[in-house]
A and B are shown apart, each in its own frame.
Chain A
């Protein structure tokens, strides 16, 4: 049976979208058993998508019809779908029966958006995919709670999201403008594409239009990442959303943002001009600092985790600033390859962040019978909910970066990539300082993460334990916690795939830079690609 190559290439995403549409329809049923089976249906859809996503990137196809299917896409799919399963589990109890269909449909749309971001080889598709990720989340927040805060969060998120999207779009319009093509990479050197253009005409790299476009796009991505200076919304939105949705928000837009950033940076071959380098550097530093210092001031558990999510974006920016290295010098290890490190970190972050929010959703305040909101609600929780608190502690320690949790390995990869990159960037000392600031920040972060653990474990219990009764939530929480420990012990499963994905960038980079340099010796002399290499 032959299918159109596009269908086979996009099979997992298509499954998700079809399933989502189905859910929207079936969700209107009045029969209870149908409504009860919706989450299972969602899981089945994810499972099928995962089954379709299994495999290796084929040798021939890299990019056709504005799509590129490479190891990064596979990684994006696997991680999205796996974490997606957990997100569904954790969110199982959140929507009312009537809204269940829409709720999970939106979720599937959002997840499909993530892999589409990775797939996109075209600005238009990239932009649409990013919107596909974001738009459903606006609604999800509103659906997750009837609380006035949820509405406020929806409003803020939507307005600011639209505002940021306008910036990004504006940036894309400039990027289109410099080359007159919306294709990012193209399937061959012959095809007109932005990446090729930048290689062919290195002068364009420092063209103001390129610069402005690039920075505006980065700004739009920074909004998804919740990076400074577009982080303002984070705490309010997480605070307003129900914890399971907040857990999802920590993963979905952020992962999409990372993928988009990787693609965009690949377009310019990770060749930062001094100005952009220092801007990203400052952004990374500011993101870590602002996130951590603000989190330090919080008394609300969700806001604290929200700001911590800002800080984690900062760590990932460190890795991305380190870049993939050159294929020939980089071993494909996460410790050498910043992209790999960021991808690995992101997966782990998705797990640990979701786990922490799941625990907050599971444990309920003995006073209000609401899921944990204020840190005080956790007081003495370890005696009421020993297992849930253990899972929470595991996730929080992982966020803190303490071994033996996978978060430690994430930090290891990120900072090690930064150190390794020190020699290949024009500013070795800057990278080393970035590492020092980064580890210093993890010490600051420890102070507030520790407060969560301290509140759970060191305080006397306030009252009888009440918990959200939902087996799926419990299972999701357990899987997150076990995963966080498991990936510490056996990181290779994940880091190998992240390595393949990161390798794509490194390989593509060397192919273009070095290949073209060899082909056109004349231009190579002035090529910023060559001059960006440190002086020998």
Chain B
């Protein structure tokens, strides 16, 4: 089963890239895509784990993750559009009227 490890590493790297991207990029859409990258990292991890144990539950889980990611994509983009309409910008920093 050691061949699962590289996939896990890759998943972790993807997750990390998404994480860092989410934290550093200002554009709402890119931030959102970064969460998608994080989800894909998880997906990869799940598949790697399935590989490790030799069963399909991980892949099944992965399919559900894809669905959820799609749902969130739909919802997320709708929200981004809404926000863009209000402010005319995709800069995340412009949404900080409430604080404290």
Classify A-B as touching or not with yes or no (CB < 8 A): yes
A positions within 8 Å CB-CB of B: 123-124, 127-128, 131, 135, 138-139, 142, 148-149, 151-156, 158-159, 162-163, 165-166, 169-170, 172-174, 176-177, 179-182, 235-236, 239-240, 297-298, 303
A163/B72 in contact, CB under 8 A: no
Please give me the residue from chain A that is nearest to B46 by CB atom: A173
Question: In the complex, A287→B45 CA distance in Å?
Answer: 31
Question: In the complex, A240→B79 CA distance in Å?
Answer: 15
Overall SS of chain B's interface: helix
B100 interfacial contact with A, CB 8 Å: yes
A176 with B68, Cβ < 8 A, contacts A151-B86, A158-B75, A239-B98 known: no
- Given A155-B79, A176-B61, 13 new contacts (CB under 8 A): A124-B60, A124-B64, A127-B68, A153-B98, A162-B72, A166-B35, A166-B38, A173-B45, A173-B61, A174-B49, A177-B45, A180-B57, A298-B100
Contacts of A124 in B (CB 8 A): 60-61, 64
| Distance from B66 Cβ to chain A, minimum over Cβ atoms (Å) | 11
Contacts of A165 in B (CB 8 A): 68, 72
Please give me the residue from chain B that is nearest to A299 by CB atom: B100
B54 interfacial contact with A, CB 8 Å: yes
Please give me the residue from chain B that is nearest to A154 by CB atom: B79
Contacts of A236 in B (CB 8 A): 98-99
Question: In the complex, A155→B15 CA distance in Å?
Answer: 22
| Distance from A520 Cβ to chain B, minimum over Cβ atoms (Å) | 23
Of the candidates A139, A155, A174, the one whose C-beta lies within 8 Å of that of B45 is A174
B26 interfacial contact with A, CB 8 Å: no
Question: In the complex, A322→B68 CA distance in Å?
Answer: 34
| Distance from B69 Cβ to chain A, minimum over Cβ atoms (Å) | 9
| Distance from A157 Cβ to chain B, minimum over Cβ atoms (Å) | 9
A177 with B52, Cβ < 8 A, contacts A127-B64, A149-B98 known: yes
Question: In the complex, A201→B19 CA distance in Å?
Answer: 33
Contacts of A159 in B (CB 8 A): 28, 31-32, 35, 76, 92
Of the candidates B15, B55, B80, B97, the one whose C-beta lies within 8 Å of that of A170 is B15
Contact with A along B1-36 (1 / 0, CB 8 A): 000000010010001001100100000100110010
8 A/B residue pairs, CB under 8 Å, sorted by A: A131-B71, A151-B83, A155-B83, A155-B95, A170-B42, A173-B42, A176-B49, A180-B52
